[in-house]
Chain A
Amino acid sequence: MTPGSYVVEVIVENKPLARDPEGETIHQNLILKGGYKQVTGVRAGKLLRMNVEANSPEDARAIVRKLSDDLRIYNPAAHTIQVRIVG
Protein backbone atom coordinates (compact mmCIF):
# COMPACT_ATOMS: atom_id res chain seq x y z
CA MET A 1 0.00 0.00 0.00
CA THR A 2 1.47 3.32 -1.08
CA PRO A 3 -0.97 6.17 -0.40
CA GLY A 4 -0.36 9.02 -2.78
CA SER A 5 -1.29 10.66 -6.01
CA TYR A 6 -1.59 8.51 -9.10
CA VAL A 7 -2.06 9.29 -12.76
CA VAL A 8 -4.75 7.16 -14.35
CA GLU A 9 -5.66 7.17 -18.03
CA VAL A 10 -8.97 6.21 -19.56
CA ILE A 11 -8.98 5.39 -23.26
CA VAL A 12 -12.41 5.41 -24.90
CA GLU A 13 -12.71 3.71 -28.28
CA ASN A 14 -15.57 2.67 -30.51
CA LYS A 15 -16.34 -1.05 -30.18
CA PRO A 16 -14.63 -3.15 -32.86
CA LEU A 17 -17.90 -3.49 -34.79
CA ALA A 18 -18.77 0.21 -34.61
CA ARG A 19 -17.11 1.96 -37.52
CA ASP A 20 -14.50 4.56 -36.68
CA PRO A 21 -14.39 6.96 -39.64
CA GLU A 22 -11.74 9.15 -38.03
CA GLY A 23 -9.34 6.22 -37.59
CA GLU A 24 -10.11 4.99 -41.10
CA THR A 25 -9.39 8.43 -42.58
CA ILE A 26 -6.12 8.80 -40.68
CA HIS A 27 -5.12 5.33 -41.88
CA GLN A 28 -6.15 5.71 -45.54
CA ASN A 29 -5.40 9.34 -46.22
CA LEU A 30 -2.39 10.00 -44.04
CA ILE A 31 -0.51 6.87 -43.04
CA LEU A 32 -0.92 4.71 -46.15
CA LYS A 33 -0.55 7.72 -48.46
CA GLY A 34 2.61 8.59 -46.53
CA GLY A 35 4.07 5.23 -47.46
CA TYR A 36 3.74 3.40 -44.15
CA LYS A 37 2.25 0.21 -45.59
CA GLN A 38 3.25 -1.72 -42.45
CA VAL A 39 0.35 -0.04 -40.60
CA THR A 40 -2.70 -2.20 -41.20
CA GLY A 41 -5.27 -0.39 -39.09
CA VAL A 42 -5.89 2.72 -37.00
CA ARG A 43 -8.52 3.37 -34.34
CA ALA A 44 -9.01 6.91 -33.04
CA GLY A 45 -10.33 7.41 -29.54
CA LYS A 46 -10.43 9.76 -26.63
CA LEU A 47 -7.89 9.91 -23.79
CA LEU A 48 -8.71 11.25 -20.33
CA ARG A 49 -5.81 11.57 -17.89
CA MET A 50 -6.87 11.89 -14.25
CA ASN A 51 -4.89 12.69 -11.10
CA VAL A 52 -6.26 10.55 -8.30
CA GLU A 53 -5.56 10.46 -4.56
CA ALA A 54 -5.69 6.84 -3.42
CA ASN A 55 -4.17 4.29 -1.06
CA SER A 56 -2.59 2.27 -3.83
CA PRO A 57 -2.35 2.11 -7.62
CA GLU A 58 -5.01 -0.64 -7.58
CA ASP A 59 -7.35 1.61 -5.60
CA ALA A 60 -6.75 4.50 -7.99
CA ARG A 61 -7.55 2.27 -10.93
CA ALA A 62 -10.69 0.92 -9.22
CA ILE A 63 -11.94 4.46 -8.46
CA VAL A 64 -11.55 5.48 -12.08
CA ARG A 65 -13.13 2.28 -13.35
CA LYS A 66 -16.11 2.85 -11.07
CA LEU A 67 -16.59 6.49 -12.04
CA SER A 68 -16.33 5.55 -15.71
CA ASP A 69 -19.27 3.19 -15.27
CA ASP A 70 -21.29 5.34 -12.84
CA LEU A 71 -20.99 8.59 -14.79
CA ARG A 72 -20.97 6.99 -18.22
CA ILE A 73 -17.58 8.27 -19.28
CA TYR A 74 -18.28 5.90 -22.20
CA ASN A 75 -21.51 4.65 -23.74
CA PRO A 76 -21.42 0.87 -23.43
CA ALA A 77 -23.75 0.58 -26.45
CA ALA A 78 -20.95 1.80 -28.70
CA HIS A 79 -17.68 2.09 -26.80
CA THR A 80 -15.07 0.13 -24.89
CA ILE A 81 -12.67 1.56 -22.33
CA GLN A 82 -9.24 0.74 -21.01
CA VAL A 83 -8.20 2.08 -17.61
CA ARG A 84 -4.49 2.12 -16.84
CA ILE A 85 -2.06 3.54 -14.31
CA VAL A 86 0.66 5.61 -15.90
CA GLY A 87 2.29 7.24 -12.92
Chain B
Amino acid sequence: MDLTGEQHALLAALADGLPLVAEPYAALGQRLGWSEAAVLDGIRTLVEEGVIKRFGVVVRHHELGYRANAMVVFDLPDDELQAAARILAARPAVTLCYRRPRRLPRWPYNLFCMIHGRDRARVLAEVEAATTAAGIAQRPRAVLFSKRRFKQQAARYGGEAAA
Protein backbone atom coordinates (compact mmCIF):
# COMPACT_ATOMS: atom_id res chain seq x y z
CA MET B 1 0.00 0.00 0.00
CA ASP B 2 1.30 3.43 -0.92
CA LEU B 3 1.93 5.89 1.86
CA THR B 4 0.07 9.16 2.05
CA GLY B 5 1.80 12.50 1.75
CA GLU B 6 1.32 13.00 5.47
CA GLN B 7 2.99 9.66 6.21
CA HIS B 8 5.95 10.57 4.04
CA ALA B 9 6.22 13.91 5.84
CA LEU B 10 6.14 12.20 9.25
CA LEU B 11 8.85 9.69 8.26
CA ALA B 12 10.99 12.52 6.91
CA ALA B 13 10.57 14.45 10.16
CA LEU B 14 11.60 11.31 12.07
CA ALA B 15 14.68 10.65 9.95
CA ASP B 16 17.09 12.16 12.44
CA GLY B 17 15.30 10.62 15.40
CA LEU B 18 13.33 12.12 18.25
CA PRO B 19 14.62 15.39 19.63
CA LEU B 20 15.86 14.84 23.18
CA VAL B 21 13.37 17.09 24.91
CA ALA B 22 10.66 16.35 27.47
CA GLU B 23 7.87 16.39 24.86
CA PRO B 24 9.50 15.12 21.66
CA TYR B 25 6.27 14.29 19.84
CA ALA B 26 4.94 17.78 20.46
CA ALA B 27 8.24 19.15 19.13
CA LEU B 28 7.91 17.06 15.96
CA GLY B 29 4.34 18.29 15.67
CA GLN B 30 5.49 21.90 15.77
CA ARG B 31 7.87 21.18 12.91
CA LEU B 32 5.05 19.61 10.87
CA GLY B 33 2.26 21.93 11.91
CA TRP B 34 0.49 19.00 13.57
CA SER B 35 -0.81 18.39 17.08
CA GLU B 36 1.07 16.06 19.39
CA ALA B 37 -1.86 13.65 19.20
CA ALA B 38 -1.68 13.60 15.40
CA VAL B 39 2.03 12.75 15.53
CA LEU B 40 1.44 9.93 18.01
CA ASP B 41 -1.48 8.54 16.00
CA GLY B 42 0.56 8.75 12.81
CA ILE B 43 3.46 6.80 14.31
CA ARG B 44 1.12 4.18 15.80
CA THR B 45 -0.52 3.66 12.42
CA LEU B 46 2.85 3.25 10.67
CA VAL B 47 3.85 0.67 13.30
CA GLU B 48 0.54 -1.18 12.94
CA GLU B 49 0.83 -1.22 9.15
CA GLY B 50 4.37 -2.61 9.39
CA VAL B 51 5.96 0.39 7.68
CA ILE B 52 7.88 1.08 10.88
CA LYS B 53 9.14 -2.32 11.94
CA ARG B 54 10.75 -1.08 15.12
CA PHE B 55 10.47 2.16 17.06
CA GLY B 56 13.13 2.79 19.67
CA VAL B 57 16.80 3.20 20.43
CA VAL B 58 19.07 2.50 17.45
CA VAL B 59 22.44 1.51 18.89
CA ARG B 60 25.73 1.71 17.05
CA HIS B 61 27.46 -1.65 17.16
CA HIS B 62 30.99 -0.52 16.54
CA GLU B 63 30.96 2.15 19.23
CA LEU B 64 29.52 -0.35 21.71
CA GLY B 65 32.50 -2.63 21.26
CA TYR B 66 31.19 -4.92 18.52
CA ARG B 67 34.24 -4.14 16.44
CA ALA B 68 33.97 -6.93 13.91
CA ASN B 69 31.19 -6.98 11.35
CA ALA B 70 30.98 -9.41 8.49
CA MET B 71 28.63 -9.82 5.61
CA VAL B 72 28.34 -13.58 5.23
CA VAL B 73 27.00 -14.73 1.88
CA PHE B 74 25.90 -18.15 0.65
CA ASP B 75 25.14 -19.81 -2.66
CA LEU B 76 22.19 -22.04 -1.81
CA PRO B 77 19.86 -24.09 -4.00
CA ASP B 78 16.40 -22.52 -4.15
CA ASP B 79 14.77 -25.40 -2.31
CA GLU B 80 17.19 -25.13 0.61
CA LEU B 81 17.30 -21.39 1.02
CA GLN B 82 14.14 -20.67 2.99
CA ALA B 83 14.61 -23.25 5.72
CA ALA B 84 18.27 -22.36 6.20
CA ALA B 85 17.54 -18.62 6.18
CA ARG B 86 14.95 -18.95 8.95
CA ILE B 87 17.44 -20.76 11.18
CA LEU B 88 20.17 -18.21 10.50
CA ALA B 89 17.82 -15.25 11.01
CA ALA B 90 16.79 -16.49 14.45
CA ARG B 91 20.34 -16.38 15.84
CA PRO B 92 21.04 -13.35 18.05
CA ALA B 93 24.33 -12.46 16.33
CA VAL B 94 22.64 -12.34 12.92
CA THR B 95 21.27 -8.82 12.52
CA LEU B 96 20.01 -9.06 8.94
CA CYS B 97 19.17 -12.01 6.68
CA TYR B 98 18.04 -11.35 3.11
CA ARG B 99 17.71 -13.18 -0.18
CA ARG B 100 19.17 -11.14 -3.05
CA PRO B 101 19.76 -11.91 -6.74
CA ARG B 102 22.93 -13.56 -8.02
CA ARG B 103 24.88 -11.58 -10.64
CA LEU B 104 26.76 -14.24 -12.56
CA PRO B 105 29.60 -14.59 -13.21
CA ARG B 106 30.74 -11.86 -10.81
CA TRP B 107 28.60 -12.75 -7.87
CA PRO B 108 27.21 -16.26 -7.27
CA TYR B 109 25.67 -15.72 -3.81
CA ASN B 110 21.94 -15.45 -3.12
CA LEU B 111 21.63 -15.27 0.69
CA PHE B 112 23.14 -12.44 2.74
CA CYS B 113 23.53 -12.23 6.53
CA MET B 114 25.15 -9.57 8.70
CA ILE B 115 26.96 -10.89 11.76
CA HIS B 116 28.32 -8.59 14.46
CA GLY B 117 30.81 -9.67 17.12
CA ARG B 118 33.33 -8.29 19.55
CA ASP B 119 36.21 -9.54 17.39
CA ARG B 120 36.98 -11.46 14.25
CA ALA B 121 37.49 -14.81 15.97
CA ARG B 122 34.06 -14.65 17.57
CA VAL B 123 32.40 -13.75 14.30
CA LEU B 124 34.11 -16.69 12.57
CA ALA B 125 33.09 -19.04 15.40
CA GLU B 126 29.50 -17.84 14.99
CA VAL B 127 29.69 -18.45 11.23
CA GLU B 128 30.72 -22.05 11.93
CA ALA B 129 28.03 -22.58 14.56
CA ALA B 130 25.29 -20.93 12.52
CA THR B 131 26.04 -22.74 9.28
CA THR B 132 26.22 -26.07 11.10
CA ALA B 133 22.88 -25.38 12.81
CA ALA B 134 21.32 -24.47 9.45
CA GLY B 135 22.74 -27.56 7.72
CA ILE B 136 24.66 -25.51 5.14
CA ALA B 137 28.24 -25.84 6.43
CA GLN B 138 29.29 -27.50 3.16
CA ARG B 139 27.67 -24.94 0.84
CA PRO B 140 29.76 -22.29 -0.94
CA ARG B 141 30.08 -19.14 1.13
CA ALA B 142 32.21 -16.06 1.60
CA VAL B 143 32.85 -13.94 4.69
CA LEU B 144 33.35 -10.26 3.88
CA PHE B 145 34.65 -8.47 6.96
CA SER B 146 34.38 -4.71 6.89
CA LYS B 147 37.72 -2.91 6.78
CA ARG B 148 36.76 0.75 6.67
CA ARG B 149 33.51 2.59 7.19
CA PHE B 150 33.39 5.53 4.83
CA LYS B 151 30.02 6.90 5.74
CA GLN B 152 27.15 5.97 7.95
CA GLN B 153 24.18 8.22 8.33
CA ALA B 154 20.66 7.70 9.53
CA ALA B 155 18.66 6.11 6.79
CA ARG B 156 16.32 8.43 4.96
CA TYR B 157 13.25 7.05 3.31
CA GLY B 158 13.71 3.42 2.44
CA GLY B 159 17.18 2.73 3.53
CA GLU B 160 18.82 1.21 6.47
CA ALA B 161 17.13 -2.14 6.61
CA ALA B 162 18.67 -3.13 3.32
CA ALA B 163 22.23 -2.86 4.61
Q: Report if A and B associate in a common complex.
A: no
Q: Which residues of B pack against A, CB within 8 Å? A: none
Q: Which residues of A pack against B, CB within 8 Å? A: none
